[in-house]
Amino acid sequence: MNKIVVSRKIPKSFIEQLETLADVEVWNESYTPMPRDKFLASLKDATACLITLSEKIDEEVIEAAPHLKVIANMAVGFDNIDVQLVQSKGIVVTNTPGVLTETTAELGFTLMLTVARRIVEAEQYVQRGEWQSWGPYLLAGKDLYNAKVGIYGMGDIGKAFARRLKGFNANIMYHNRSRHKDAEEALGALYVPFDTMLEHSDFIICTAPLTEDTRNKFDTAAFKKMKNDAIFINIGRGAVVDEQALVNALQDGEIGACGLDVLRQEPIDMTHPLLSMKNAVILPHIGSASVVTRNRMIQLCVDNIRLVFSHKQAKTPIS
């Protein structure tokens, strides 16, 4: 008999679909991950698991799960999974590309405007009762209109972000491991070397996945090359950024501000210096967090498990 382990609480309608395929064991917590020991124990007789980025799939997991056929990862990125190891055991690994592109780009755009116009500072200013009068430069921010915007990572999310920039008449630069002529032609984006993008951008947004090439890409040297009033936004992966270098850059005035939806350690340690900085806005990894998009992500995971159980090709296998 098949068994499916679901590492987070998901709507009943999806559980009911899975129950037509197998016995289902669900960790009924929405906001806290399944404890590692519980996860390992649950996998001993499991043939499938539906997981989030919180679950690290490594050699220990594979040894604990001898019957596993498919891992459905509720995310586009899969740096939480040792894909080569898993596939060497004949286990199918799937992700959820496509369905979250527009929602994530929308969140990134929201975060960029929030930081640029100092929205969080302004709201807190009002809440503290400090708003006494209008002032010419009271909480004055930075314009996006006609600005130079650099995008690091011109994949689907980067392109969706660039489309939104066109409405602000922004000048778009990008750097990627390979050129995307379609983005250049459709969006007027200019492919430039990484350092050129750093030096000339008023805003820089990172949408890149975590790879050995992107790890710590935004380090001390990178921040020093940026404009002193540049705004840095990261909706890619936390480990693309050297966070101590970012803290130093903000403290020393080497860049103007930052907005992060992803961090190296999630959730963030409450003693992290970024949390005490007025020019840093930190979000709890909510890039794809709309009801419609999360439903689509879960449905894709369910569909992938169903197809593998039916000895068919998964919709979105990681190759």
pLDDT in tens, 195-214: 999 999 999 999 999 999 99
- Please work out, in degrees rounded to the nearest 5, the angle formed at the alpha carbon of residue 112 by the alpha carbons of 169 and 217: 105
Q: How far is CA 4 from CA 45, 115, 301, in A?
A: 9, 42, 12
pLDDT in tens, 248-299: 999 999 999 999 999 999 999 999 999 999 999 999 999 999 999 999 999 9
Classify strands 48-51 and 23-26 as parallel, antiparallel or unpaired. unpaired
Report how far residue 119's alpha carbon sits from residue 278's, in angstroms, rounded to the nearest whole number: 11
Cα of 284 vs its chain's centroid, Å? 10
- Least Cα distance to 155 among 77, 79, 59 occurs for 77
Mean per-residue pLDDT over the chain, rounded: 97
Q: Which residues participate in catalysis according to the annotation?
A: 237, 266, 285
Average of per-residue pLDDT across 156-172: 97
- Give the three-state DSSP class for 13: helix
Six token digits for residue 186: 């459709």
Which H or E element spans position 198? Answer: helix 194-200
The pLDDT tens digits for 236-247 are 999 999 999 999
Place of tokens 């489309």: 163
> What does the pLDDT average to over 150-179?
97
- The answer to whether residues 308 and 23 touch, using CB atoms and an 8 Å cutoff, is no
Q: Which tokens belong to 267?
A: 């959730």
Distance CA 255, CA 220 (A): 11
- 3-class state of residue 281 by DSSP: strand
Asked whether the bond before 273 is cis by omega within 30 degrees of 0, the reply is no
Question: What's the whole-number mean pLDDT along residues 211-231?
Answer: 97
- Predicted local distance difference test score (pLDDT) of residue 307: 98
What is residue 152's predicted lDDT score, i.e. its pLDDT?
98
Q: What is the pTM of this model?
A: 0.94
Tens digits of per-residue pLDDT, 65-101?
999 999 999 999 999 999 999 999 999 999 999 999 9
Q: What is the mean pLDDT of residues 128-154?
A: 97
pLDDT band per the 50, 70, 90 thresholds, residue 30? confident
CB 296, CB 11: distance < 8 Å: no
The SS3 call for residue 215 is coil
Dist. CA 287–CA 264, nearest whole Å: 16
Q: pLDDT grade, residue 1 (50/70/90)?
A: confident
Joined tokens for residue 248 = 């130093």
